[in-house]
Amino acid sequence: MSSFLQQFSAKFAQLNARNLDRLGELYAENVHFTDPLHEICGLAELHGYFAELYANLIVLDFAFFAFDEVREGEGYLRWIMSFRHPRLNQGQLISLEGCTMLRWNAAGKVVRHRDYFDAGALLYQHVPVVGPMIRWLHRRIA
């Protein structure tokens, strides 16, 4: 088990709207962050993204449960994210499982962060009007 991945995930899970200045402890200035909805280059842009994210959420928690370093300076984290957003799922808790690929430099800062998750399960299924249509479509396909 990777001590880097464990330390990173513990620090990441402690982030909130009031301590985003800690992003610089985790990420390099030239970080490249990607998820199914965003692509961000640079620490300043990443800070802005997280500030906006936390400003719109009531709750955001990460539970990390798998740590796999595939080679020196690269590994994967598996997690469950739980969050509440006032305009999604009537403000009720939404949980989503995902995976993160990280690459870090010799200084121990992340230079590449790529999240993998189902964007529909994160967002679209919980939007009024659109959500019921997507759930109906999933049932039809299954």
Task: Report if pTM > 0.75.
Answer: yes
Q: Can you tell me the distance from the alpha carbon of 75 to that of 100, in angstroms, rounded to the nearest whole number? A: 8
Q: What is the mean pLDDT of the chain?
A: 86
Maximum average pLDDT range among 57-66, 84-93, 109-118: 109-118
Q: Can you tell me the distance from the alpha carbon of 71 to that of 103, in angstroms, rounded to the nearest whole number? A: 10
**How many angstroms separate the Cα of 48 from the Cα of each of 14, 43, 44, 74, 115?**
18, 9, 6, 25, 18
User: Is 60 exceeded by the pLDDT of residue 51?
Assistant: yes
Kindly list the structural domains of the chain, giving each domain's residue range(s) and its CATH number in brackets, ordered by start.
Answer: 3-141 (3.10.450.50)
For 67-92, what is the mean pLDDT?
85
User: Is 70 exceeded by the pLDDT of residue 29?
Assistant: yes
User: Is 60 exceeded by the pLDDT of residue 124?
Assistant: no
Q: What confidence score (pLDDT) does residue 91 get?
A: 65
For 95-124, what is the mean pLDDT?
88
For 53-80, what is the mean pLDDT?
92
**Contact status, residue 23 vs residue 49, Cβ threshold 8 Å:** no
